Structure 1
Amino acid sequence: MIECVDEFAAPGLSRRGLLAGAASAVLLSACGKAIKPPPERVLFVGNSLIYYNDMPGQFAQLASMALGRRVEAEMLARGGAHISHHAKLGLVQRELSSGRYSALVLQEFGGGLSCSPGMLKFGFSCETSHAAHAELAEAARAAGARAVLLGVYRQHTGSAAELVAKEAELARQIGALHIGLGDFPQLLSMHSDWAWLDPEDGQHPGPDLSLLMALRTVRALYARAPRAGAIALALHDYRGRESPSLDRLASMQEVGAAMIERRLDAEEFAQRLRAAGLERPAVVR
């Protein structure tokens, strides 16, 4: 016989408490009480191409808007890190084994998957990278999470097309979704006034490129789009000495990254949605 109680105290749920939480949810359901599902979590793994403009944070806000429920993002990243560095350390695998994540998003060291001989000077091996991607994608599947290969941008049409083809083939081999950025040269030409690249170095993502990657990740995982309209995004500024380290989740680091707010009016955001391949009805003013 199930005995129902008026209140259920649920302090911060530990990883070991997930099964107990699920059992409690069944109990509350039997008692006729509303069940609030835990937030969905996505783990982003990569390097500075991810943490510039807090791309995972943007994704979480946009995905929450698109789905109408809370989506959270965690990040493991370090400037210059390869996916093989992450796989060797083992933290990604341990995080996935917790069962907290619904998806794993991998972004490789810039241009590495082109497999050009010039990458050797960065200690990058395509063979090692492919093996690491396969290992982490398998760890994601074993934990019930989807694996996603988030592509890297190139500014020239030929090199962008070559890179996106090699990324897509690797994604096929490891059973991952692929998010390509092969059209970046065209977008760069069409919207030359957008903040595509970081103004300080001209290489890292600027606010609009990070937003494009975040929106395309929302599209790949959920096939949904945030409602068009004016928007304000709160971002951590992880650049410089505030950048994440390889051995801890960004949320566990005391980096003191400042918060930046980015506002886009309804038309500006509608344009970015279209650039990401997310069409929405026109906003009625």
Structure 2
Amino acid sequence: MFFRSTMLAFALAAALPATAQEAPLAPSTALFVGNSYNYYNNSLHNQVRRLAQEAMGEGSEGYVFRSITISGGSLAHHPVAFYLEPANIGMKSVELLILQGHSGAALEPARTESFRAAVAAAVDAAEAKGTRVALYMTHARGREHPDYSPDHAAMIAALYRETAEAEGAILLPVGDAFEEARRRRPDARFVVDYDHHHPNPAGTYLAAVTIMATLYGKSPVGLKYDANGAVDAETKAFLQQVAHDVVLGASGG
């Protein structure tokens, strides 16, 4: 527990300055690329778009976010350069490409090597189109998962942070937000009970408010959107505060 808490504190301390140093991108078009971590609970991209539209207000009605996922897939399975060609996926242009790797990307050497190579190739393809890249730091599996280890969260955070820095990508600290939520409420569930790693509605909502706060520099605290009733008012407020504190800095709330 001490190791986990210490590593989380280090991860959060490392994440906050990077968020503060770069002005928010505030994209009006975005493409999410990943696997089932994205498509659970009516798809993450839909929730981020709805939150962004509420936070940004007038002028955000035309936001276009799309998602391409492969169940159980790794980034190496995605032909990212093809996705970014005009009209191949029905988007004239993509301001932001959001990449989400396999949940085991940081846990097995072969997957780690594949992840780094796939991100580098995706960044090259994106730069050729004038598209920015963001890395969606995945969350660690729940304690009940058979492959759970208390050091996995720190390993995942380190891989995403190092890769984002090396490739000039925006870091979306979803994994950090999960660990902070788990620290504050050890008995709360943010993954589904039947496999202990895919996000439940609260987990997807936490990912969404964390991504929105990072990309738009807006606090999610007080937003009305509740994933169409999938997240109750008290849980919504808690998750919004966690995302605010992880991305924008602890406010004591």
Deviates more, 1:63-72 or 1:43-52: 63-72
Aligned mates of 1:226, 1:277 — CA distance in 2: 6
Aligned to 1:274: 241
Map 1:83-122 onto structure 2 (within 5 A): 83-87=75-79, 90-94=81-85, 99-112=92-105, 114-117=106-109
1:222 to 199, 216, 232: 216
Deviates more, 1:140-149 or 1:57-66: 140-149
**SS of alignment partner, residue 118 of structure 2:** helix
Q: TM-score, normalised by structure 1?
A: 0.64
Question: Deviation of residue 43 (structure 1)?
Answer: 0.3
Bigger proportion of residues as strand: 1
Q: Note if contact 2:31-2:66 (Cα within 8 Å) is conserved in structure 1.
A: yes
- Amino acid across the alignment from 2:97: L
Aligned to 2:207: 213
Q: Note if contact 1:59-1:217 (Cα within 8 Å) is conserved in structure 2.
A: yes
Deviates more, 1:207-216 or 1:157-166: 157-166
Q: Deviations over 1:131-167 (max 9, x none)?
A: 2211212222332222100011114542211220121
Q: Note if contact 1:66-1:227 (Cα within 8 Å) is conserved in structure 2.
A: no
User: Residues 149 and 275 from structure 1, CA distance in 2 versus in 1: closer, same or farther, beyond 3 angstroms?
Assistant: same
Question: Deviation of residue 215 (structure 1)?
Answer: 1.2
Q: Note if contact 1:149-1:167 (Cα within 8 Å) is conserved in structure 2.
A: yes
> Which runs of 5 or more residues in structure 2 are unaligned?
1-26, 143-148
Q: Note if contact 1:47-1:78 (Cα within 8 Å) is conserved in structure 2.
A: yes
Give me the identity figure in percent. Answer: 26
The answer to whether the aligner puts 1:82 opposite 2:74 as a matched pair is yes
Q: TM-score, normalised by structure 2?
A: 0.72
- Amino acid across the alignment from 2:192: D
User: Residues 152 and 52 from structure 1, CA distance in 2 versus in 1: closer, same or farther, beyond 3 angstroms?
Assistant: same
**SS of alignment partner, residue 262 of structure 1:** coil
Map 1:233-244 onto structure 2 (within 5 A): 233-234=227-228
Aligned mates of 1:103, 1:204 — CA distance in 2: 24
Q: Which has the higher contact order (CA 8 A, sep 6+)?
A: 2
Aligned to 2:28: 40
User: Residues 263 and 204 from structure 1, CA distance in 2 versus in 1: closer, same or farther, beyond 3 angstroms?
Assistant: closer
> Which runs of 5 or more residues in structure 1 are unaligned?
1-38, 235-260
The answer to whether the aligner puts 1:188 opposite 2:156 as a matched pair is no
- RMSD of the TM alignment (CA)? 2.8
Aligned mates of 1:178, 1:194 — CA distance in 2: 25
1:139 to 97, 116, 125: 125
Deviates more, 1:59-68 or 1:270-279: 270-279
- Runs of 4+ aligned structure 1 residues displaced above 3 Å come to 95-99, 192-195, 229-232, 278-281
Aligned mates of 1:142, 1:219 — CA distance in 2: 27
1:264 to 200, 220, 232: 232
Map 1:25-64 onto structure 2 (within 5 A): 40-53=28-41, 54-64=43-53
Aligned length: 209
